[in-house]
Structure 1
Amino acid sequence: MPADSLGAISKLASGGQATIYKVSGGAPILRALPYTELVYKEYNRSERATLDPDMLDNMAQYAAQLMSGPEGLGDRLAWPLATVEREGALSGFLMRRAPQQFVIRLQLPSGEKPTLAEAQLLLNDEQYLVDRQLPVHDRWRLQFLRDTADTLAQLHRSGIIVGDLSPKNLLASFTTRPCCFFLDCDTMRMTDRSALEQVETPGWEVPSGEVLATTASDAYKLALLAARLFAGDQDSKDVTSLSAVYSPLGQLAQRGMSTDPSVRPTPANWLATLDAATTRATTALPWERIGRNGDGVGPPTDAPTTSPTRDAPIALPPVPGALAPNNPGRIFGIALAALVGFLLVIGVVAQAFNRPSGGEPSATPGSTSPAFDAPTGARLALSNSQVQIDQTYSATASGFSPGEDVRFSWTGPTNGVMGIFPADSTGSGSPGP
């Protein structure tokens, strides 16, 4: 389609390869595309000289099949949807914009900054995670790895190789069931062809002399991701931390980083072991882990006790499997970013926590944040109409499934997670005295 038919566009970012524009939408030519939130990637002139326009056209034509496939790969990829021409020559392509669940409000010294949740944020030590208020625990890491491995396995079954797999073009969602999202899909290899010359991100190269963009190279980089995600390091190949979580995972990663491509486990080979490890994994958050190590460092004053909730269009959704307190009859662990020492009149909203994944999150009333649906008729009643920081209060929960963990949040002068407790054995009535 012609570039001048896209309607209004605005520049989002630019780099050595291309410039990214937000497409405002509404242009008639865009109505046939499967997504309304679109961006246009326009290659720089030097990049167009090496571009294979026929291959990029083939990728765009494959989009419909990819989006309608039973494995739902379209939800994990910024795949080319349509090619764009300028001055009679192919200049770039349209792709979906990264979904909102892959945007976080990153805590920086200068304040909060909405940013893409690139996987490179996760490859840092505990203190970095505390400073940035990233609610990452071992179970979350394993679930994110599991989704990434599963997506790679699906791509390979479709004849698609990622090639330049790196934490810069891989996004993570901080949702109840973590998932991945791949950027730069135009660089992927399909049916043994690539639209662009294959390159690798520094620090994520395959062993010297190895062919680029193969199933074996993807397997190598998945092993790197696993090791570095648990080592908290951008460059490490040490599997000690990964092995400490579950020793068979360390063995898989060690084989995955072998210089012999034939011995590397495929992404599909990781799935059962990741499932087994997840059932054993801790859900301790970074500020909890640092505190337990005895160095006296606790959470930031405005850090959530479990995970932040959204009180603006861009924010951080809930984290899975957060620790429940030992006293099942009390709500505790209340944490607020401000208003310390003041009484708050609150309206309490109960959300189902760690519910089985069965579809897309729905929006919480009055917010754009995704949240998994609470059970029908689920209610929480506090015994007090006012609460105070660091205090505990009795509550009555009803309408929840037996043994189901419940997350509570409030709406008022500020939003936030109040605390968590396990439901009683019947799933109804008061969980304790």
Structure 2
Amino acid sequence: MDPAAFAVDKSALRALTEIGKGGQGRVWATDSVRINQTWSAVYKEYDASVLAGVDVQLLATMVAFVPALDPASGRWLCEQAAWPAALVQDNGTVRGFLMRRLPADFEMLLPQRDGSCQRKPSGLQFLLNPDEYLAKMAIPIDDRKRLLLLRNLAETLERFHRLGIVVGDLSPNNLMFQLSPAPRCFFIDCDAMRLHGASVLRQAETPDWEVPGNEELGTAASDAYKFGLLAIRLFARDQSARDAWALNAVSPQLGRLAVRSQAVDPDHRPAPAEWIPVLDEAIRGGGARATNGFVHRVTPAAPSHPPPVAPSLRPSPAAVTLAPPPSGGTWLRRLLPALVIGLLLLCIVGVIASIANANDGKPVASGAPAATTVAARSAATTDSPTPEPDATAGIVTYDAVVARPEGARVVRMLAGYFDAVNSGDWDTALRSYDPAGIIDPGDPAQRRSFMRAMSTTEDRDAVLHALRPSGAETLAELTFTSTQQAGYGPRRDPAETCTRWEVTYRLTYSERFGYRILRARDAADSPC
């Protein structure tokens, strides 16, 4: 297998922002690529000392693994893990790989001593602590959610094993969690996993999570051992517990499985699939402390169809996208132009964040309904492009383009958009976007990401400074100020609560829909 067939050049990633550093190398966020036309990407670059031990051929095999799966299985795997998506070359040498950025659902806001909150990846180690600590950190978990989380993890491991994937270094270091709307897990550091018995790097183990004796590392049996150990520690609220008494108190059957999982003989350990019916029974039987008889079963989310691919587009020097076609037995990754810097991506990926996450993943008419916004009321009374007397609409001032015939139409759309964001009228706000651009209002996942990212935002003091044609599009130069809760700020500082923006929007126009936002061409931000 030629690794170059699955590689992108590092120069295509353009500006990189370091977001993490570990024992193997560094992780960088990039706004220049999207994975599956949906998710924000990060680049893991191996240190030179590590690179010599990397099996590049196997890493290329991992990248090619998802495209070789049926679309539903490939989509499922990418929803469970940050699986390698493309190799990254620098001067012809593979230096690392691209993967999906951690989804925003697997981050949390942790209270700080000064009363603020800091956004952090929700590593499972947070849950292996006493209830007092969890309460102080505002992590709302009970035994029911612990069971649901284990159930999701058992099902994920069972399907991994059927696909020929073994986690190997299964520990809280590479496992993220979310508790709402349904408890589930997400794996990172997937290059450390084994695929069909082979490893990109020599198998390693996290201290205090080692398998006993000298047994082979990175097997289905070692996953079974560490899953049982995680179950014990999750219910013991202890980072190093090995006694199953707490789990046994919730369900004696689960306690027996946990004891068996710690057997020295690998053949005596229950596979993750064996846990699933027992976990279901514990959830139904009250050990999960169910409320009002409600039982919530965790099952894999139905895979959504990948977004359509425009077959005629070619990579642009500005940005590239890694994307599969929507159907067929094999996913093909193509490089598509996608200028993804800009306010909305910064917001969505930052929360995702990254999306962005980031992040985020990784996604109609422009006028608002009558009587809902300033722009809508203006549009309802006249179709004339004549500007309003004070050259303002809603929060938008547009003195600089007051003489332009299209000025009033553009500002009505922008004013309607800002007013809708400020009032939480998401349907109206999303109608301001051209589905061919950065946000498709008809995509439920992208709608949810937008609503989550903008949920605490309030915009003010917008000024439309200039309009100029750019081929079939119109460029609108705009400044404005946003306020938001800590954790929802721009990528460079998610904790920022007040931000000044300078954005150049690319707008499309049609007789049916008027002006709509395609995406941002340039965006800059600074603290208030």
Residues 1:17 and 2:20 aligned together = no
Verify the 8 A CA contact 1:66 1:73 in the aligned structure 2: no
Per the TM alignment, residue 361 of structure 1 is displaced from its structure 2 partner at its CA by 10
Task: For 2:111 and 2:174, locate their aligned partners in 1 and report how far apart those are by CA, in whole Å.
Answer: 21
Match of 1:250 in 2: 255
Match of 1:72, SS? helix
1:73/1:151 contact within 8 Å kept? no
Cα drift, residue 64 of structure 1: 2.1
8 Å CA contact 1:53, 1:90 repeated in 2: yes
Alignment of 1:128-277 (within 5 A): 128-277=133-282
Q: CA deviation at 1:176?
A: 2.0
- Is the CA contact 1:35–1:96 (under 8 Å) kept in the aligned structure 2? no
Q: 1:51 to 1:144 in 2, by over 3 A?
A: same
SS of equivalent to 1:181:
strand
**Separation (CA, whole Å) in 2 of partners of 1:174 and 1:259:** 33
Distance 1:264 1:241 in 2: 20
Q: 1:165 Cα deviation (Å)?
A: 0.4
Query: Which amino acid in structure 2 is aligned with residue 368 of structure 1?
Result: A
**Are 1:63 and 2:148 an aligned pair?**
no
Distance 1:31 1:178, change over 3 A: closer
Shift of 1:243: 0.7
Q: Secondary structure at the match of 2:240?
A: coil
Aligned mate of 2:45, from 42, 47, 58:
42
Q: Which residue of the partner structure matches residue 370 of structure 2?
A: none
Out of 368, 372, 380, the position equivalent to 2:453 is: 368
Q: Report the CA distance between 1:194 and its aligned residue.
A: 0.6
Which of 83, 90, 101 pairs up with 1:97?
Answer: 101
* 8 Å Cα contact 2:35-2:41 kept in structure 1: no
1:84 aligns with 2:91: no
Query: 5+ unaligned residues in a row in structure 2: which ranges?
Result: 1-7, 292-349, 354-422, 426-443, 456-483, 486-528
Bigger CA radius of gyration: 2
Checking the alignment, whether the CA contact within 8 Å between 2:192 and 2:201 is kept in structure 1 is: yes
Q: Quick check: 1:117 aligned with 2:117?
A: no
Q: TM-score, normalised by structure 2?
A: 0.54
Preserved CA contact (<8 Å) 2:41 2:99: yes
Partner of 2:401: none
Residues of 2 paired with 1:241 and 1:6: CA distance? 48
- Cα distance in structure 1, aligned partners of 2:280 and 2:96: 40
> For 1:335-414, what aligned pairs fall within 5 Å after superposition?
363=448, 367-368=452-453
Letter in 2 for 1:107: P
Q: Contact between 1:105 and 1:314, CA under 8 Å: does it hold in 2? A: no
Do 2:145 and 2:183's aligned partners in 1 also have CA atoms closer than 8 Å? Answer: yes
Aligned to 1:401: none
TM-score normalised to structure 1 length: 0.65
Verify the 8 A CA contact 1:138 1:282 in the aligned structure 2: yes
Secondary structure (helix, strand or coil) at the match of 2:173 reads coil
Letter of the 2:19 counterpart: L
Q: What amino acid maps onto 2:253 in structure 1?
A: P
Task: Say whether residues 1:51 and 2:58 are aligned partners.
Answer: no
SS at structure 2 position matched to 1:79: coil
Number of residue-to-residue matches in the alignment: 302
**Amino acid of the structure 2 residue aligned with 1:10:** T
1:8 positional shift: 2.0
Question: Could you tell me how far apart the structure 1 residues matched to 2:78 and 2:35 are?
Answer: 16
Q: Is the 8 A contact 2:283 2:290 kept in 1?
A: no
Q: Secondary structure at the match of 1:24?
A: strand
Aligned-partner Cα distance in 2 for 1:231–1:172: 18
1:72 Cα deviation after fit? 1.4
Partner Cα distance (1:36, 1:179) in 2: 19
Shift of 1:53: 0.3
Instruction: In structure 2, give the amino acid aligned to 1:54.
Output: Q
Per-residue displacement from partner, 1:115-150 (whole Å, max 9, x unpaired)?
A: 000000000001100110100011111111111110
Deviation sequence 1:257-294 (CA, Å, 0-9, x none): 1111111000111100111111211269xxxxxxxxxx
- Please state how far the C-alpha of 1:107 moved relative to its aligned partner: 1.8
Amino acid at match of 1:236: A
Tell me the distance in 2 between the aligned counterparts of 1:31 and 1:112. 29
Structure 1 vs Structure 2 CA RMSD:
2.8
User: SS at the partner of 1:211?
Assistant: coil
Amino acid of the residue matched to residue 39 of structure 2?
Answer: T
Q: Please give the secondary structure, in 2, of the residue aligned with 1:57.
A: helix
Alignment-mate amino acid for residue 203 of structure 1: D
Please state which structure has a larger fraction of its residues in helix.
Answer: 2
Q: Residues 201 and 66 of structure 1: is their aligned pair in 2 closer, same or farther, counting only changes over 3 Å? A: farther
Partner of residue 6, structure 1: 13
Query: CA offsets per residue over residues 172-227 of structure 1, 9 Å max, x none?
Result: 01212111100000011011111111000001000021110000000000000100
Measure the CA separation in 1 of the matches of 2:146 and 2:454: 22
Deviation at 1:369, TM superposition (A): 8.3
- 1:277 aligned partner, one-letter code: A
State the distance in 2 between where 1:183 and 1:266 align.
Answer: 22
Change (3 A) 1:60 1:364: closer
Q: Which has the higher contact order (CA 8 A, sep 6+)?
A: 2
Change (3 A) 1:364 1:116: closer
* 1:22 CA drift (Å): 0.2
Determine the C-alpha separation between the residues in 2 that align with 1:252 and 1:192. Answer: 26
Structure 2: distance between partners of 1:226 and 1:142? 9
Alpha-carbon distance in 2 for matches of 1:143, 1:204: 22
Over 3 Å counting, the alpha-carbon distance change for 1:34 and 1:367 in structure 2 is closer
Aligned equivalents of 2:62, 2:424: Cα separation in 1: 48
Contact 2:24 2:50 in 1 (8 A): yes
- Aligned position for 2:376: none
Q: Does the Cα contact within 8 Å between 2:34 and 2:41 map onto a contact in 1?
A: no
Structure 1 pair 65/202, CA: closer, same or farther in 2 (3 Å)?
Answer: same
- Aligned equivalents of 1:252 and 1:63: distance in 2? 33
